[in-house]
Chains A and B, each alone.
Chain A
Amino acid sequence: MATATASHTPEDVFDVEAIRAQFPILSEEVHGKSLVYLDTGASAQKPQLVMDAVDDMYKHAYSNVHRGAHRMSELATDRFEHAREQVRSFLNAAHSHEIIFVRNGTEACNLVAFSYAKKFLQEGDAILISEMEHHSNIVPWHMVAEEKGLRVLAVPVTDDGGFDMDAYDRLLEDGVKLVAVTHTSNVLGTVTPAKEIIRKAHAAGAKVLLDGCQSAVHMPVDVRDLDVDFYAITGHKLYGPSGIGVLYGKEELLNAMPPYQGGGSMIKTVTLTKSTYAPLPAKFEAGTPAIAQAVGFGAALDYMRSIGLDAIRDYEEDLRAYATQKLSAVPGLKIYGTMPGKAAVISFTLDKAHSHDVSTILDRHGVAIRAGHHCAQPLMDRFGVAATARASFGMYNTRADVDRLVEAVEFVSEIFG
């Protein structure tokens, strides 16, 4: 029987090599070096079984869904609806019809803005976001606010990258009817205190949308335990295909909301002068959806669950701690976001080199990171930087990847002196 020793690390119990073997792209070479992929925050790589699920559907079970009274349509519909059930189970939602398939996290936020907020918020009401939002959870609110005469307020971010709870308490009292904040910052890695945010919002009479695009890849998410009203996720950041995302919404809210787009699939009856709408979830799924992508997404979620979201979180926490320690030792390197419990997302700057130069040099070492404003310009302004470099980890990364990252960063220092 195996026993824990002093040198015990999560790598010993987490079979990362078996996971890596599922991701063909990790065997690619970039500029003559094996790929070190540290841009999972932008988009995760895909395991073979996701590609197989998509491939198998196109080969054996493909047609449009919810339409034809023929075998292929039935098979396709079964697989598509099974994917919805897989998402429900992944998020622990009460009902599969609370799972609305959309294109991505951006569309999920837009759906809440242009269906829920547009219908239920009144002139002068406030929407409360935070300083660490992705543009996808900022711009839709600006758009609907302009149209409806709403106010958009923002919770500040503390120096260590935390959600300023004192400010939140104050701001909530200012006519806030909807709180739309991230569950995990794509730049800082900060995991926001979602349960407290939600409990306080509800006490103040506001609903809550959590942007979970960066959370669900790193940790277990339970929408019922959170008691969240809306939750946005996107397939491509969860090891699934792009073009598919999900808005979870509580049944009673989704039922009360008007459709977001009109078209095929979402109707009950249509005459030349009037339409009536289908029940959930079809009401919000106008037009042919991303069928095979949904099926691939479901396969990706099942794969993550087979490994275990707790195990993934613990393993990535070890990587985060190791990377933080190694990077912190590089002279002139500053890390943004140092909150306890943060996800394995590390944004940094070097005092002598701009993040684009860092990214270019790392790329030539086979190390893929993101450089830029990360679609979070207000946060960049908050920290007074134009851009940062960001290494974001997934379950397939290793300590050896961290070593390659640090080695390449040291080469940047060598060039820039």
Chain B
Amino acid sequence: MLDELRELYQEVILDHGKNPRNFRAMDNATHKAAGRNPLCGDQLVVYLAVDEDGKVADASFLGKGCAISMASASMMTEMVHGKTPEDAERLFENFHTLCTTDHTPDAPEGLEDEVEKLEVLSGVRQFPSRVKCATLSWHTMDAAIKGEEEISTE
């Protein structure tokens, strides 16, 4: 039981939560969206700069939230760097399944390393009320890629 807590709050998550990477606004973003969880008050903005080759040249975020949402956003921005928006969406889909079901889905081709890294967040499965914390940044990135300005999870 307390083991589940230790699994949820692993070192790597605590580290990303305390020192989030790419935690900044972006002037030259090509995609940007705001995400909000009205139930808990967490909010963040995700920025992407997609270059002419169709790859994410830069990804960043700003916001307030718990360790899980900050860590998840931080890891996401690191991970989608250099990927196409389509690959980013594939990772989102994979991550969503990881957090909301009992099984670990097969990694999409070429994204095995990323999927393996995301498994550190799979501990949220044991904490249904915290799944949205882990997925808020990904939902927001998804909205940004689709050209939506804001999303709200409930």
Contacts and interface: CB of A to CB of B under 8 A. Distances in A.
Interface of A: 31-33, 352-357, 360-361, 364-365, 371-373, 377, 380, 386-387, 411, 415-417
Interface of B: 1-2, 4-6, 8-9, 14, 18, 39-43, 64-68, 127, 129-130, 133
A372 B41 contact: yes
A354 B65 contact: yes
A373 B9 CA distance: 23
Contacts of A411: 2
Contacts of A33: 1
A373 B64 CA distance: 13
15 contacts: A353-B67, A354-B65, A354-B66, A356-B42, A356-B65, A356-B66, A356-B68, A360-B8, A361-B9, A377-B41, A380-B41, A386-B43, A386-B65, A387-B41, A417-B14
Given A356-B130, A360-B130, A415 B9 contact: yes
A357 B64 contact: no
A373 B67 contact: no
B41 A357 contact: no
Contacts of B42: 356, 386
A357 B1 CA distance: 15
Contacts of B41: 372-373, 377, 380, 386-387
B8 A386 contact: no
Given A356-B40, A356-B68, A373-B40, 12 more contacts: A355-B66, A356-B42, A356-B66, A356-B130, A357-B67, A360-B5, A360-B8, A361-B5, A364-B5, A372-B41, A411-B2, A416-B14
A39 to B, nearest CB: 13
Contacts of B14: 415-417
Which 3 interchain pairs have the tightest Cβ spacing? A354-B66, A356-B66, A373-B41
Contact of B133 (A356, A415, A416): A356
Contacts of A373: 40-41
Contacts of B1: 31-33, 364
Nearest to B6: A415
Dominant secondary structure of chain A at its interface with chain B: mixed
A416 B65 CA distance: 15
B62 to A, nearest CB: 13
Contact of B67 (A354, A377, A387): A354
Residue of B41, B43, B133 most packed against chain A (CB within 10 A) = B41
Nearest to A415: B9
Contacts of A356: 40, 42, 65-66, 68, 130, 133
Given A373-B41, A415-B14, A357 B4 contact: no
Contacts of A371: 40
Residue of B2, B39, B133 most packed against chain A (CB within 10 A) = B2
Contacts of B66: 354-357
B9 A386 contact: no
Given A356-B40, A377-B41, A386 B2 contact: no
A360 B5 CA distance: 8
Contacts of B39: 372
Contacts of B127: 360
A416 B15 CA distance: 10
A411 B4 CA distance: 14
Given A354-B65, A356-B66, A356-B130, A415 B40 contact: no
Contact of A386 (B64, B129, B133): B64
Nearest to B129: A360
Nearest to B127: A360
Contact of A387 (B4, B5, B40, B130): B40
A361 B8 CA distance: 10
A411 B6 CA distance: 11
A302 to B, nearest CB: 35
Contacts of A364: 1-2, 4-5
B16 to A, nearest CB: 13
